[in-house]
Amino acid sequence: MAVVQVAIDVPVDQLFDYHDNALQMEEGSFVLVPFRRIKKIGVIFRINPKTSLPIRDLKNIEEVLLLPPVSPETLKLIEFNSKYYCHPIGQVVATFLPGYVRKTKNKDKYQSVSYALTTQGRTNGIINLNSRATNLAKLLDYMKNNDAVTAMQIRSLSSNGIEKVDSWVEKGWASRQIVPAFPLTKLKNKSLSSSTISGGLSLTEDQLSAVNKINSNLDKFKVWVLHGITGSGKTEVYLEVIKEVSEKGGQTLVLVPEINLTPQLESRFQRRFPLLNISFLNSKISEQRRFEIWDDARAGNVDILLGTRLSISAGLPHLGLIVVDEEHDSSYKQQEGLRYSARDIAIFRAFRSNIPIVLGSATPSLETYKNGLDGKFEIIKINSRPKANLPLISVVDISKDQHGLSICQELVKKIKAKLKNKEQTLIYINRRGFSSALICNSCGWVSDCIRCTARMTFHKKINKLICHYCGYKSSKTECCPACDSSDLYGPGQGTQSIEEDIKLLFPEAKVLRVDSDTTKTKNAFSEMRSRIISGEIDIIIGTQMLSKGHDFPKLTLVGILEADSMLYSSDYSAPEKLFQHLIQVSGRAGRGTKDGEVVVQTCFPNHFLFQALRHHNYDLVASFLLKERQAVGFPPFAYQVVLRAEAQESEKLFELLREVANFTQKISEVVIVHDPSPAIISKIAGRFRGQLLLQAKTRSSLSFVVSRIFQKLQKKQITHVKWAIDRDPLGI
Ligand code: ADP
Ligand code: ZN
Ligand code: ZN
């Protein structure tokens, strides 16, 4: 009899002790255990640990599930995440392993009954079966030729087959056992060297040198930063390196931002490697499919796993390479629950597996860029595009523009020319809806959300004001709720009002608006993409959704509106994000054979960011921003943790934050404790939100403090304040 420790999905950071009940299990096994009054599925983390509990007090493991155990590698990742991000270990398991296997009700789906003929059955009575029953004869034939036949297979061969076979079991002709419902170890039915059949493009000099550098260092941990301008063919470089890795029998994990995992990218990989086993994973995939991919990957059958951040925990026994595309993208950081950064975990994983990792971006994050400058990572640059040139960017001053349209004259002229040439234009504006808010001209009323400290946005089509933070809708849009005046106006522009302006200006053009309102249904986005690629659309109006990664060959003009709102944000990371956006959006122009152009409308044409943008000078901006960050001691020159909290009562919230601030000051002299403050949106849906920022020069001093805070808060069992620890926050 041994004691085992199990991770269970509850908000308490500990493993729970059980008796092994003399069952066969190993570390990583899924088990069914009694927990409080119910049964839960957990994962074994330790067998025979030191425990002070009297053994007779322990409950028994009830059942070891017929699932492949979690790989040691994934167990390590889970433990690391739990410690580093201060998140209960059972909940990390819940984040990282497919939900499908953790639900007790699914148990019968992934383990099923299987039958086999016994020796007695093969030699005896069955031979005397009535041969006129053709279904039965077929079933018998099938069972003779297969060592194990599932109940499902039997049912498909003969509708009353199960009863028949059950009766054979009673006679001793067949045996019956519980088996996994999925073929857990599939055979590889391909030869790896044939992956080269579908050759790639002939590489540019820059691409070739990048490929050669990486390929000659495949046998050890190294972080490569592939800093290639937009459209420089980074994906082509990944493909060449992946080819080399898979020819050697290695598996590759390719992480992409959620929005980039498109049919276009999928088919690009499939076309290139028709004989490799490629799996695609994102949050929209069904739970069962996610489980199948997860199982296939951990069995070593997937050659390339291409997926969003949740793929980071997949078991990949022959992992030889990790690629993180658009490594600066904010979607790699989960913003609720386990607030992990898949990019950072990927680096940790590559280090542990002693393999290379490629971080690709046209706009590397400042922390990655700094690691490159410091020599921790190695930067590889690609400064040219294989086909067209980088777009010509003009910055237009609209501060004195009086004609009252959202699109300046210069841009109007250019759009006309594109329409004539049958080329496409993208109008980029990062605000959906009609305008930022409604304002009453008579009394100054503003359409504030009644539940948040945020303004509601006017959506004209449904004639409603909508709060983009809490979803609250108000239909009072005809007249002012305060003074009844009908003199309401909406300053600023959203996607909907731009769409109206564009349709007025270019009645003959085919216009498509792509934002989260028009892409709600499942296939809407990919349908829109194909309409753009086919050339059917002339003018696309889009938000951030369209700024990253997409390749629209006919798109040659990009207009950027309303960029100014981010110039003077209170978030210190706003300029970095804005510049990344600007470069990425601009990069959508001229990716085919024709050069592109970009028009930026701003009231601050001389602003440093816009000037740098004109010259596509990312390095200039990065080194400028790094100096700024260094001067104030902000990341990447320091490490941060934000304790985020929300509560019905503002007083309780700040009481807790102050208490943690005092506690931190007591236990550490090196961690800087800022004053508790309201969050940028200080109230959402009627709940107050506040935060406490802690900062340190080293990760280790911060780790020490944060884990003490975590333990303290866990013990307190706070009910009136919801809190979360956000390590390495994206902004504050
Ligand atoms: P990135 O990932 O850097 O944005 P892509 O790999 O998507 O760039 O390449 C941009 C475009 O250039 C794609 O249409 C791609 O097919 C094409 N391309 C890439 N490399 C080459 C090359 N060596 N020769 C010709 N076309 C290329
Ligand atoms: Zn009013
Ligand atoms: Zn609201």
Ligand 1 binding pocket mutation candidate from 205, 235, 256, 547 (most atoms within 8 A of CB): 235
Task: Out of 267, 533, 551, give the residue to mutate to test ligand 1, the one with the largest number of ligand atoms within 8 Å of its CB.
Answer: 551
Same domain? 592 vs 544: yes
Cβ of 551 below 6 Å from ligand 1: yes
pLDDT confidence bin for 30, thresholds 50/70/90: very high
Tell me, in angstroms, the distance from the centre of ligand 3 to residue 553's CA: 39
567 in the same domain as 527: yes
* Rg, Å, the chain Cα set: 30
pLDDT at 131 over 60: no
Distance 487 CA to ligand 2 centre (A): 8
Among residues 109, 124, 146, which one ends one of the domains? 109
Shared-domain flag, residues 29 and 104: yes
Q: For residue 329, what are the contacts with CB-CB under 8 A and spacing of at least 6?
A: 257, 548
Q: Which of 229, 276, 230, 287 is nearest to 254 (CA)?
A: 276
Task: Say if residue 78's pLDDT is above 50.
Answer: yes
In a shared domain, residues 224 and 272: yes
How far away, in angstroms, is 473 Cα from ligand 3 center?
8
Lowest mean pLDDT among 48-52, 552-556, 723-727: 48-52
Pocket test for ligand 1, best of 387, 583, 586 (most atoms within 8 A of CB): 387
pLDDT computed for residue 258 by the predictor? 81
CB 681 within 8 A of CB 451: no
Minimum mean pLDDT range among 70-79, 539-548, 581-590, 663-672: 539-548
Check pocket membership of 201 for ligand 1, CB cut-off 6 A. Answer: yes
Instruction: Report d(CA 474, CA 303) in Å as an integer.
Output: 51
Q: Is 236 in the pocket of ligand 1 (CB under 6 A)?
A: yes
pLDDT confidence bin for 128, thresholds 50/70/90: low
Q: Does residue 386 line the site of ligand 1, with CB under 6 A? A: yes
Distance 42 CA to ligand 1 centre (A): 45
100 and 119 part of one domain: no
Name the residue with the closest Cα to ligand 1, atom 9.
233
Which residue's CA is the nearest one to ligand 1's atom 18?
233
Q: Are 528 and 414 in contact (CB under 8 A)?
A: no
For residues 240 and 136, the model is more confident at: 240
Is residue 528 located within the same domain as residue 583?
yes
Q: Which of 141-150, 161-170, 533-542 has the highest mean pLDDT?
A: 533-542
Domain range for 674: 639-727
Task: State the pLDDT at residue 277.
Answer: 92
Domain-located, residue 464 = no
Q: What is the reported pLDDT for 472?
A: 86
pLDDT of 187 = 43
Residue 681 phi/psi, 5° resolution?
-100, 105
Substitution site in 236, 241, 363, 616 for ligand 1 pocket (most atoms within 8 Å of beta carbon): 236
Q: Is residue 96 in some structural domain?
A: yes
Do 26 and 69 fall within a single domain? Answer: yes
Number of domains the chain contains: 5
Question: Which residue, 345, 364, 382, sits at the end of a domain?
Answer: 382
Q: Is the pLDDT of residue 477 over 80?
A: no
Span 439-462, average pLDDT: 82
More confident residue, 408 or 200: 408
Q: For residue 414, is it within any domain? A: yes
| pLDDT surpasses 70 at 194 | no
Ligand 1 in reach of 636 Cβ (< 6 A)? no
- The reply to whether 691 falls in a domain is yes
Separation of alpha carbons 716 and 718, rounded Å:
5
Q: How many Å lie between the centroid of ligand 2 and the Cα of residue 323?
A: 55
Flag whether pLDDT at 52 surpasses 90: no
- 626: confidence class by pLDDT, cuts 50, 70, 90: very high
Domain co-membership, 542 together with 608: yes
- Domain assignment present for residue 480? The answer is no
Longest dimension (CA), the chain: 98
> Based on the number of CB atoms within 10 Å of its own CB, is 117 exposed (0-12), middle (13-18) or buried (19 or more)?
buried
Question: Relative to the alpha carbon of 231, which ligand is closest?
Answer: 1
Give me 440's structure tokens.
């009453």
CATH number of the domain where residue 103 is located? 3.40.1440.60
Q: Provide mean pLDDT across the span 684-703.
A: 94
pLDDT band at 195 (very low <50, low <70, confident <90, very high): very low
Residue 279 has pLDDT above 90, yes or no: yes
- Per-residue pLDDT at 270 exceeds 50: yes
Residues with CB under 5 A from ligand 2 (ion): 440, 442-443, 445, 480, 482-483, 485
Using 50, 70 and 90 to split pLDDT, how confident is the model at 729? very high
User: Which residues on neighbouring strands pair with residue 178, listed in sequence order?
Assistant: 113
Same domain, 103 and 125: no
What is the model's pLDDT at position 68?
84
- Is residue 651 domain-resident? yes
Which residue, 469, 414, 387, is CA-closest to 682? 469
Q: How far is the CA of 348 from the centre of ligand 1 (A)?
A: 29
Read off the pLDDT band of 332 (50, 70, 90): very high
- Rounded to whole angstroms, the Cα distance separating 587 from 551 reads 9
Average pLDDT over residues 439-459: 83
636 prior amide bond cis, ω within 30 = yes
448 part of a folded domain: no
Q: What is residue 60's predicted lDDT score, i.e. its pLDDT?
A: 94
Same domain, 579 and 648: no
Which of 140-149, 400-409, 635-644: highest mean pLDDT? 635-644
Span from the CA of 443 to the centroid of ligand 2 (angstroms): 4
Average pLDDT, the chain: 87
Predicted confidence at residue 126, as pLDDT, reads 61
Euclidean distance between CA atoms 474 and 447, whole angstroms:
9
C-beta separation of 499 from 511 below 8 A: yes
Looking up tokens 């046209």 gives: 362
pLDDT tens digits along 451-460: 887 788 888 7
pLDDT value, residue 193: 47
For ligand 1, whether the C-beta of 231 sits within 6 Å is: yes
Taking the centre of ligand 2 as the mean of its atom positions, its distance from the CA of residue 106, in whole angstroms, is 57
602 and 551 together in one domain: yes
Report residue 433's pLDDT band, with 50, 70 and 90 as the boundaries: low
User: What is the C-alpha separation between 391 and 594, in angstroms, rounded?
Assistant: 10
Which atom of ligand 1 is found nearest the CA of 549? 4
Position 260 scores a pLDDT of 65
Q: Which two tokens stand for residue 640?
A: 């941060």
Ligand index nearest the alpha carbon of residue 360:
1
Query: Phi/psi of residue 481, each to 5°?
Result: -65, -20
CATH code of the domain containing 692: 3.30.70.600
Mean pLDDT of 72-100: 94
Q: Same domain for 678 and 530?
A: no
Which tens digit of pLDDT belongs to each residue from 509-559?
A: 999 998 877 777 777 887 888 899 899 999 999 887 777 667 788 999 999
d(CA 198, CA 191): 14
- Of all residues in the chain, the percent with pLDDT exceeding 70 is 93
Q: Which of 51-55, 92-96, 310-314, 445-449 has the lowest mean pLDDT?
A: 51-55
* Structure tokens that stand for 5 in this block: 């420790």
pLDDT band at 722 (very low <50, low <70, confident <90, very high): very high
Which atom of ligand 1 sits closest to the CA of residue 382?
3
* Ligand 1 binding pocket includes 82 (Cβ within 6 Å): no
| Ligand 1: centre distance to CA 525 (Å) | 22
Q: What is the CATH number of the domain that holds 270?
A: 3.40.50.300
* Ligand number nearest to the C-alpha of 489: 2
Residue at 95 is within a domain: yes
The total of other beta-carbon atoms located within 10 Å of residue 482's CB is 12
